[in-house]
Amino acid sequence: MAGEPEARESESGLPIAPVYGPADLTGWDPARQLGEPGGYPFTRGVYPTMYTGRPWTMRQYAGFGTAAESNARYRQLIAHGTTGLSVAFDLPTQMGHDSDAPLAHGEVGKVGVAVDSVEDMRVLFDGIPLDQVSTSMTINAPAALLLLLYQLVAEEQGVPADRLTGTVQNDVLKEYIARGTYIFPPKPSLRLTADIFKYCAAEIPRWNTISISGYHMAEAGASPVQEIAFTLADGIEYVRTAVAAGMDVDAFAPRLSFFFVARTTLLEEIAKFRAARRIWARVMRDEFGARDPRSLMLRFHTQTAGVQLTAQQPEVNLVRVAVQALGAVLGGTQSLHTNSFDEAIALPTDKSARLALRTQQVLAYETDVTATVDPFAGSYAVERMTDDVEAAAVDLMRRVEDLGGAVAAIEQGFQKAEIERNAYRIAQETDSGERVVVGVNRFRLDEEEPYAPLRVDPAIEARQAERLERLRTRRDRGAVDSALAALKKAAGGEDNVLYPMREALRARATVGEVCDALREVWGRYEPSEVL
């Protein structure tokens, strides 16, 4: 009929009708698909009161340069009201190399903080009481090392391990799919993940042992459906690994957590979060037989979409981040990082980092989104979109299973190819103008305003090398060699590697030396190109 609006497609390519009504929810069963907040299937949120009791954790992600510089930023964030820290590590640390290694040249302190030993970790958290702050660490292949360094620093502060709270990302499978900071092949990497689960269950019981991440897949171009499907498929692989290692599912599943992106497409993002909770609850109950309700809860951290930030008219990113953060909150996130508006240009300045935090504080304290739980429940549009996203994600997860599971699919290049295909579609739509990006292909300025970004001092690399030289001179080399030998023996057998790893780090072994010891036993991962 002339004059009727045309249907649009969501980010995942699913239809969005111009109008939704009762007919779109034919056969919809609120008791089965919604439940109550805090109850199965957790569509409406993992806790009965959600933000009506207290807001989400405002966990701002930061880290750059030296440990001392990052420590100063953390103190500022805490002073401005941050309720949780999130540590960014530089690429050499993420890849298990010391700052003075040839492969580290030019990358020290650039995209995060350089941490080479327990001495750097001590400086990083100087003056920050680790029994009072929750810390998330974005580290994957060498996650065990950074967690143990954190524990050793807490020990020096007099804080027992059972008082520590936080999360270590520890999601190496998504590195093979979308990000590339892997070290070891998949099999020993999964063994290391299971060892972390066991170690934390015994030693650091309040710690979240993994943050299974779809964020980096989304940054690489994954659609919302691909993001949750591939992330949950990875989660299933981790659970299977732990169960195969002899762990009871209810002994570790309550400490699993997830990490997703929030895009500007508000309604589909809300639907995505709700659908993900429902799928995970069903998988844990029906496939793994979990009995503890906490094992069924998909608890997640959200970060606003860095890939959607633009260097053109960067102040417009303030609007984008506010919309993205609102989607995360309405979708029921447990913690949130809001990107700074200048991150498409360089590291955030103090002012832009503060503005990012203030965005969350406005949502929490000046709006009414914390006054009621799951305000979109029963919305014709959101409930239908939740069902559509769920069905599409389950279908994609089934394709992963048909290939033999997440690891087998990774080895066949399935997830990577699917994400790259979607990224190409997005690029084509942006180039043609079909997808509007304000300030980039529409509403441009003839001349951009000048902006002075924060830059990392290149002398940091030399200073880190000097610190390492002093460390190696002062320590007991015999004790280090003995501890590394014990680590290699455990890695070659079936003992939990975290215990000898902890003693090696206590003896002042460096991150690079520990990873090199494991490389000797487990080898390095060499990706194969799959066409």
- Tens of pLDDT, residue by residue over 98-155, are 999 999 999 999 989 999 999 999 999 999 999 999 999 999 999 999 999 999 999 9
DSSP H helices in 117-260: 118-124, 143-157, 173-174, 186-203, 215-219, 224-244, 249-252
C-alpha closest to that of 38 among 25, 28, 53:
53
Taking the C-alpha atoms of residue 398 and residue 283, their distance in angstroms, rounded to an integer, is: 12
Q: What is the mean pLDDT of residues 191-204?
A: 96
Sole residue written with tokens 């993001």: 227
The answer, yes or no, to whether residue 530 has pLDDT greater than 70, is no
- Tens of pLDDT, residue by residue over 417-453, are 999 999 999 999 999 999 999 999 999 999 888 877 7
* Structural domain boundaries in the chain: 8-432, 467-522
Q: What is the mean pLDDT of residues 484-500?
A: 98
Strand 15-16 and strand 210-213: the pairing is unpaired
DSSP secondary structure code for residue 117 in this structure: S
Taking the C-alpha atoms of residue 236 and residue 232, their distance in angstroms, rounded to an integer, is: 6
The CA distances from residue 485 to 118, 225, 505, in Å, are 19, 45, 13
C-alpha closest to that of 11 among 330, 325, 468, 389:
389
At 300, is the secondary structure helix, strand, or coil?
A: strand
Tokens (6 digits) for 165: 């709270």
DSSP secondary structure code for residue 440 in this structure: T
The answer, yes or no, to whether residue 90 has pLDDT greater than 70, is yes
Dihedral sign computed on CA atoms, order 325, 326, 332, 334: positive
Would you list the DSSP string of 164-192?
--EEE----HHIIIII----S-HHHHHHH
Sole residue written with tokens 């063994």: 191
Taking the C-alpha atoms of residue 105 and residue 92, their distance in angstroms, rounded to an integer, is: 9
Instruction: Give the gyration radius of the chain's Cα atoms.
Output: 23
N-term to C-term CA, the chain: 45
In the structure, what pLDDT confidence band is assigned to residue 356 with cuts at 50, 70 and 90?
Answer: very high
Q: How far, rounded to the nearest angstrom, does the alpha carbon of residue 443 sit from its chain's CA centroid?
A: 33
- Tens of pLDDT, residue by residue over 244-300, are 999 999 999 999 999 999 999 999 999 999 999 999 999 999 999 999 999 999 999
φ/ψ of 349, rounded to 5, equals -80, 170
CA atoms within 13 A on the CB side of 416: 20
pLDDT at 413: 94
CA atoms within 13 A on the CB side of 397: 22
pLDDT at 455: 74
Taking the C-alpha atoms of residue 530 and residue 195, their distance in angstroms, rounded to an integer, is: 30
C-alpha closest to that of 89 among 132, 133, 143, 129:
143
Q: What is the mean pLDDT of residues 153-177?
A: 96
- Tens of pLDDT, residue by residue over 375-389, are 999 999 999 999 999
Taking the C-alpha atoms of residue 197 and residue 255, their distance in angstroms, rounded to an integer, is: 9
CATH of domain 8-432: 3.20.20.240
Which residues make Cβ contacts (< 8 Å) with residue 210, sequence separation at least 6? 167, 168, 169, 170, 171, 193, 196, 197, 238, 255, 256, 257
C-alpha closest to that of 147 among 196, 195, 220, 188:
196
Tokens (6 digits) for 434: 């079909």
The CA distances from residue 296 to 194, 255, 279, 323, in Å, are 19, 11, 10, 29
Taking the C-alpha atoms of residue 60 and residue 77, their distance in angstroms, rounded to an integer, is: 8
Which residues are bridge partners to 454 per DSSP?
347
pLDDT at 531: 37
Sole residue written with tokens 């992106």: 261
**Mean pLDDT rounded to a whole number for the chain:** 95
Would you list the DSSP string of 33-102?
HT--TTSTT-TT-SSSSGGGTSPPEEEEEE--BSHHHHHHHHHHHHHTT--EEEEEB-HHHHTT--TTSG
Taking the C-alpha atoms of residue 48 and residue 44, their distance in angstroms, rounded to an integer, is: 9
pLDDT at 32: 86
Tokens (6 digits) for 104: 């580290």
In the structure, what pLDDT confidence band is assigned to residue 6 with cuts at 50, 70 and 90?
Answer: confident
Taking the C-alpha atoms of residue 307 and residue 329, their distance in angstroms, rounded to an integer, is: 19
| Residues 41 and 277: beta-carbon distance below 8 Å | yes
Q: How far, rounded to the nearest angstrom, does the alpha carbon of residue 326 sit from its chain's CA centroid?
A: 18
Angle at 456 between CA 453 and CA 459, to 5 degrees: 145
